[in-house]
Amino acid sequence: MDRQQTNCCGARVDCAHCDIRPIAICGALQPMALGKLAAIAGTRRVDAGAQLIQEGEPAEDVFTLTEGMLKIYKLMPDGRRQITGFLIPGDLVGLAYGDSYIYSAEAVTDIVACRFRRGSLLALMADYPELEHRLLSRAGNELAAAQAQMLLLGRKTARERVATFLLGLAERRGIDRGEPMPLPMNRSDIADFLGLTIETVSRTLTLMRKAGLINLPDKHSVTITDMAHLQAASGD
């Protein structure tokens, strides 16, 4: 039996069998609501390095990331960049309040995202308050993360920033002690997330490796070898 659904745009979307449903906004919906959600959903694939959305553009779509990693960021006119988050499957992208996106999003790895028309999602929300409830809950979590990041950017040293970053990533990805953790973003992305330069990130990682806190088997993975000291180095 094929439970896939064909939506308005011809894309086939199967919310009922979606891997990330339990953790995404779709998680708590009744089968009927889920059918309606699938009906307004489409799939969007983006290659690593390509843009999903751009700051300032009209915010017509909202996405749920289902595979890969996405970075969201703001730019200054002179090109300085602040990455405000690395998104993983289950995370929501583009739910601006206003009619334009307030940040850009670029794929760190190849990604797959579930696309909803903004208007359709808002309409569905009116009928299924549970959907809005999930959204509010996610917004609350994002706000908490944003505040923790403000503390990092405003008050932590380079060493504390890098330690906090590694620990946070390990926790979000559910990496066990000693297990190698993929680091899909490059040094420039890490720098722009932590408010540092590439060179400082590189030097700090090297120092941590020499101090025995971490291992760097290759430039796209880390293992945390001394959790206790890394935690101490994070400043909290």
Partner DNA sequence: GTGCTGCATTGACCCAAGTCAACGTGAATG
Partner DNA sequence: CATTCACGTTGACTTGGGTCAATGCAGCAC
- Select from a second copy, DNA, none the partner in contact with residue 201, using the beta carbon and a kind-dependent cut-off of 5 to 8 Å: DNA
Measured distance CA(82)–CA(228) in Å, rounded: 29
Q: Where are the alpha helices (DSSP H) in the chain?
A: 31-40, 118-127, 129-155, 158-173, 187-194, 198-210, 227-233
Least Å from the CB of residue 26 to a second copy: 17
Single out the residue of 75, 216, 223, 225 in contact with DNA (rule: CB under 7 A): 216
119 token code pair:
């208007």
Single out the residue of 6, 100, 219, 236 in contact with DNA (rule: CB under 7 A): 219
Four-residue CA torsion sign, 204, 229, 147, 135 = positive
Nearer to a second copy, 6 or 100 (CB): 100
Among left, alpha and beta (phi > 0; psi -120 to 50; other), residue 221 is beta
- Please, what's the largest Cα pairwise distance for the chain? 57
Least Å from the CB of residue 74 to a second copy: 5
173 token code pair:
């990805």
Q: What radius of gyration do the chain's Cα atoms show?
A: 19
Nearer to DNA, 118 or 203 (CB): 203
Least Å from the CB of residue 226 to DNA: 18
- Select from a second copy, DNA, none the partner in contact with residue 187, using the beta carbon and a kind-dependent cut-off of 5 to 8 Å: DNA
3-class SS shares of the chain: helix, strand, coil, % to 5:
40, 25, 35
171-201 in b/e form (b: 16+ CB < 10 A) is eeeebeeeeebebbbebebbbbbbbbeeebb
**CB distance 65 to 167 below 8 Å:** no
Nearer to DNA, 47 or 127 (CB): 47
**CB distance 42 to 158 below 8 Å:** no
Q: Which residues bind a second copy (CB under 8 A)?
A: 74, 76-78, 80-82, 84, 95-98, 102-103, 126, 129, 132-133, 135-137, 139-144, 146-151, 153-156, 192, 194-195, 235-236
- Select from DNA, a second copy, none the partner in contact with residue 100, using the beta carbon and a kind-dependent cut-off of 5 to 8 Å: none
Query: Judged by CB under 7 A, does residue 225 bind DNA?
Result: no
Q: How many amino acids of this chain bind DNA (CB under 7 A)? A: 20
- Select from DNA, a second copy, none the partner in contact with residue 188, using the beta carbon and a kind-dependent cut-off of 5 to 8 Å: DNA
- x/- letters, 148..177, toward DNA (CB under 7 A): ---------xxx------------------
Query: Judged by CB under 7 A, does residue 187 bind DNA?
Result: yes
Query: Judged by CB under 7 A, does residue 203 bind DNA?
Result: yes
Give the residues lining the site for DNA (CB under 7 A). 157-159, 186-188, 195-203, 205-206, 216, 219-220
